[in-house]
């Protein structure tokens, strides 16, 4: 016989009641955790996806569309700029590297990104190392050779040596006539944990050749990835192109921040919801622990009558309340992370954007507050039980 055994017996004796108490706590914590993770994960996921693109250049128009095109491989490609602009950028002393990207074709919905071999030497920063690394095969050397993103290769089953034909446009339209040229898979990339996992990289000359008969601008590019020579040089590039009538230069991370500031109200609403959910979970925990303690009032009186001291009664009630609350909280946190992982998976399947959110400080504080509240809510009825005259509850 021990306090733990009494607590365990009490919990197991009314499994449904214990389960309901746990589930109520679990559901509210899971909801709060999910809201917190989403608020954090969407922001960091988009920012991480933009990391390989310090600056992008493209034709004048919506900066959001340019970022969606180049960073996220989404939306209709903007009109092209001339390849000579890439050469001009390369000659710019503020630019360390300029790599063109041309979009416009797809294979089974996966975007072709025409670029140049130099992209395989692109180093994001010394810590991250090379952005695109070959996992299998080699980089493309000639037109109509293709290097597949890791996820794209896994999803389509294409292997090095296989050939495929692309279609014009961003999505495959059943029955539509594709390009006549055949691409040969020469390499597969290591995962980059971003949208380019779902891309097909090829020499931009392939795209030009494929569109030679479509009346598209010859030797045009949709966007240019610019690696500035340094922070001051990045600002200089931005300044040089500020008044350019043909081209725009944007910082994708800045665009994302602006996007988030436009959505600021939505984020605030999300934050208010998460606080409301946390408050609700505290109320629920208070209610469930009080309810459980009220149900034990008679047993407490019996135990006191047969010799249990106040300490023992407080221990039993406190442990029981804490155990149910902690199990519910742990299960809720796990469920919240599980639901977030499922949502992140769905989003990754669709966009290859990785929603990354681990155990945040905010979540840690929330769990600590909930556990502390559960401790208080468990202690109050336990102490109250001892203040009552045992005879009143017999």
Q: List residues binding another protein (CB under 8 A).
A: 1-2, 5-6, 9-10, 12-14, 298-299, 301-310, 312, 386, 389-392, 394
Comparison of 92 and 300: residue with beta carbon closer to another protein: 300
Closest by CA to 114, choosing from 18, 221, 258, is: 221
DSSP secondary structure string for all residues of 126-167: TTTEESS-EEEE----STTEEEE-HHHHHHH---TT-EEE-E
**CA separation (Å) from 99 to 87, 238, 387?**
10, 17, 76
Residue 82, φ and ψ in degrees, nearest 5: -75, 150
C-beta of 382: minimal distance to another protein in Å?
15
* Closer residue to another protein, CB minimum distance, 13 or 231: 13
CB of 12 or CB of 16, closer to another protein: 12
In the complex, least distance from residue 379 CB atom to another protein, rounded to whole angstroms:
17
Residue placing its CB nearer to another protein in the complex, 218 or 302 = 302
Least distance (Å) from another protein to the CB of residue 355? 45
Q: Please, what is the minimum distance in Å from the beta carbon of residue 314 to another protein?
A: 12
Please say which residue, 232 or 306, places its beta carbon nearer to another protein.
306
- Collapsing DSSP states into helix, strand and coil, what is residue 178? coil
The nearest distance, CB 311 to another protein, in angstroms, is 8
**Which CB atom, from 14 or from 128, has the smaller least distance to another protein?**
14
Which long-range CB contacts under 8 A does 63-71 form with residues at least 24 apart?
A: 63/248, 63/250, 63/255, 64/255, 64/259, 66/223, 66/248, 66/250, 67/250, 67/252, 67/255, 67/256, 69/103, 69/222, 69/223, 70/101, 70/222, 70/223, 70/225, 70/252, 71/195, 71/252
CB of 21 to another protein, least distance (A): 15
């Amino acid at each position: 016989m021990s306090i733990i055994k009494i607590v365990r017996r009490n919990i197991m004796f009314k499994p449904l009641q214990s389960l309901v108490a746990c589930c109520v706590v679990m559901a509210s914590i899971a909801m709060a955790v999910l809201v917190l993770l989403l608020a954090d994960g969407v922001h960091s996921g988009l920012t991480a996806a933009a990391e390989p693109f310090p600056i992008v250049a493209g034709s004048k128009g919506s900066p959001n569309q340019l970022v969606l095109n180049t960073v996220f491989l989404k939306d209709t490609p903007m009109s092209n700029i001339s390849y000579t602009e890439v050469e001009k950028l390369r000659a710019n002393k503020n630019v360390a590297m300029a790599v063109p990207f041309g979009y416009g074709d797809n294979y089974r919905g996966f975007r072709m990104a025409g670029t140049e071999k130099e992209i395989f030497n692109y180093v994001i920063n010394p810590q991250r190392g090379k952005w695109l690394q070959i996992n299998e095969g080699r980089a493309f050397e000639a037109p109509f050779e293709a290097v597949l993103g890791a996820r794209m290769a896994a999803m389509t089953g294409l292997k090095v040596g296989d050939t495929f034909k692309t279609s014009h446009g961003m999505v495959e339209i059943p029955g539509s006539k594709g390009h006549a040229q055949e691409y040969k898979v020469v390499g597969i990339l290591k995962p980059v944990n971003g949208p380019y996992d779902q891309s097909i990289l090829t020499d931009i000359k392939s795209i030009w050749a494929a569109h030679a008969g479509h009346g598209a601008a010859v030797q045009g590019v949709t966007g240019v990835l610019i690696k500035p020579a340094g922070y001051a040089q990045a600002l200089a590039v931005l300044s040089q192109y500020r008044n350019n009538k043909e081209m725009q230069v944007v910082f994708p991370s800045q665009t994302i921040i602006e996007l988030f500031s436009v959505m600021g109200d939505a984020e605030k609403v999300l934050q208010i919801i998460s606080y409301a959910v946390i408050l609700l979970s505290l109320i629920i925990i208070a209610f469930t622990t009080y309810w459980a303690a009220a149900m034990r009032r008679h047993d407490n009186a019996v135990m006191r009558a047969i010799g249990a001291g106040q300490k023992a009664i407080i221990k039993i009630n406190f442990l029981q309340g804490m155990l149910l609350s902690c199990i519910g909280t742990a299960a809720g946190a796990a469920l919240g992370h599980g639901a977030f992982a499922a949502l992140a998976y769905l989003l990754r399947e669709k966009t290859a954007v990785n929603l990354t959110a681990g155990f945040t400080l905010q979540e840690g504080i929330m769990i600590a507050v909930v556990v502390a509240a559960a401790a208080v809510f468990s202690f109050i009825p336990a102490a109250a039980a001892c203040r009552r005259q045992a005879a009143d509850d017999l």
